[in-house]
Amino acid sequence: MDFDFYLSTMWSVLKALPLTLEIWFFGIAFGLIIATGLTWLRASGHKLGEYFTRAYVFVFRGSPLLVQLYLIYFGLSQFDFVRHSPILWPILRDPMYCTIVAMALNTAAYESEIFRGALRAVPVGQIEAAKAFGMPAFTRFRLVTLPIALRLALPAYSTEIILMTKATALASVVTIMEMMGTAQKIQHDTFRPIEVLTCAGVIYLLLNLSIARLFAWVEYRLSPHLRPPPEQSQQIKPVPEVL
């Protein structure tokens, strides 16, 4: 084993980590904003909104992210109006922006489905209680529906975020030298795929491990009501009844 080579490769790939994180962060941030809009549109009950979100989910969930990325980066620049648009062109000529746009559009489709499912899974009784106590719709949503739905959505959402971490590797195909792009370059220069790709793989693993741990911690903090109460896990006997 050539430890020096491993170390130098590790270091080179790690230097590209900030770029990977940048794509990742903006991808999921914009994705979350779009997903929120889609969920709202879907839940609003307007037929038009429902058809639009269904079509959106069908397209962006049904086709590969790589195809979407190519279409946005290589495809859209075919159109004159895109190249001459003062708003679109600065975004779509930049591979970094294109990757972020593709990731955001793609993850929004999945996330909106996750959120829709979570909203539907909020027990009716919990919402009825809020209604029966005279809470206006927004208060009801803020105090009851949203907190419960967020907890229900969290496990599936964390999976989606981990998928997005791995999807950042696709940026390498549109010339971005993030971790995967860097690793590929070293591989081409050195013809040592095992060492190079192992290094990259390990970094992705560790990155996802920390993301998973972070979500697990958030989930833990948000769900004390789903764990046994502290006293009861220590002493089997229930606290005696006082009336």
Partner 1 sequence: MSANVAAAAKAAPSPEDKSAISVRDMRKCFGDHEVLKGISLEAHKGDVISILGSSGSGKSTMLRCINLLETPDSGEVRVDGELIRMKQARDGRQMPADIRQVERIRANLAMVFQSFNLWSHMTVLENLVAAPTHVLKRPRAECLEQAEALLKRVGIWERRNYYPPHMSGGQQQRAAIARALAMNPKVMLFDEPTSALDPELVGEVLRVMRSLAEEGRTMLVVTHEMGFARDVSSKVMFLHKGEVDSVGEPKEMFAKPPTPQFKQFIANFNK
Name the site residues for partner 1 (rule: CB under 8 A). 123, 125-126, 128-137, 139, 143-144, 147-148, 151, 222, 224-226, 228-229, 232, 239, 241-243
Three-state secondary-structure class, residue 7: helix
> What amino acid is encoded at 189 in this protein?
D
CB of 3 to partner 1, least distance (A): 51
Of the pair 63, 223, the CB lying nearest partner 1 is at 223
Of the pair 107, 145, the CB lying nearest partner 1 is at 145
Calculate helix-pair angle for 3-15, 179-190, nearest 10 degrees. Answer: 140
Of the pair 18, 117, the CB lying nearest partner 1 is at 117
Of the pair 2, 128, the CB lying nearest partner 1 is at 128
Which two tokens mark 184? Answer: 């590929």
Which two tokens mark 6? Answer: 């491993």
What CA–CA distance (Å, rounded) separates 85 from 42? 31
Q: Calculate Rg over the CA atoms of the chain.
A: 23
CB of 154 to partner 1, least distance (A): 12
Of the pair 142, 188, the CB lying nearest partner 1 is at 142
CB of 122 to partner 1, least distance (A): 10
CB of 162 to partner 1, least distance (A): 25
CB of 217 to partner 1, least distance (A): 17
Three-state secondary-structure class, residue 122: coil
What CA–CA distance (Å, rounded) separates 91 from 88? 5
How far does Cα 198 stand from its chain's mean position? Answer: 24
